[in-house]
Amino acid sequence: MNIIILSLFISCSNEDDFNSNGQSAQESVVTADAALIVLGANDLTDSLTLDIVIPENEYGLSNAEPLLLLPFYKSADIESETWFPVPNVQVEKNLKVYYSRSNGLELVIIAEKFDSPTPYGNKLEFKELNIIAVKPSSISGLTRSELDTRNYQEMVDFLGLNQ
């Protein structure tokens, strides 16, 4: 399977901190069925909006087709290399992190208190934030024992997205 490394343009905004130029280039890996979008370090206060654009590529993966978006992050406040899937719950921090999509490739990551729909209110620092965009047909019909979509490394390996 051939892999091409492309630059994806991502527009990130945060209620408290908006990127002044609106876009930044990101190194990413694209295959025929998926893309690994590497966003690096990010801060989230209550919500973070990501407008993902997949550029022209030799595989035909495009912005026009429906893609599953699976966000993963490494927390900056712990010394772990663990990738956390979104959504997730951290009861000890009274925190739930989830995402919503309104249209296309716009993804909003949201942090709320675990026990209510109240905004979390504290800044979350992501040491790394990556999005896996995948064609649903490439993983449909698989059981969790065949592919755990909440396991970052398993997804990267299965989809051939190793950097």
pLDDT digits (tens, 9 = 90+) for 93-121: 999 999 999 777 889 999 999 999 999 99
Q: What is the pLDDT of residues 41-93, one digit of tens each?
A: 999 999 999 988 776 677 778 777 889 999 999 999 888 889 999 999 999 99
Cis upstream peptide for 87 (omega within 30°): yes
* Of residues 17, 41, 12, the one with CA closest to residue 127: 41
For residue 124, what are the CA distances in angstroms to 14, 120, 159?
12, 9, 29
- The tokens describing 112, both together, are 């709320």
Q: Tell me if 79 sits within 8 A of 86, measured CB to CB.
A: no
Q: Give me the mean pLDDT over the 19-24 stretch.
A: 36
Q: What is the pLDDT of residues 116-150, one digit of tens each?
A: 999 999 999 999 999 999 999 999 999 999 999 99
- Predicted local confidence at residue 56, as pLDDT: 66
Give the three-class secondary structure for 51. Answer: strand
Chain centre distance of CA 92: 23
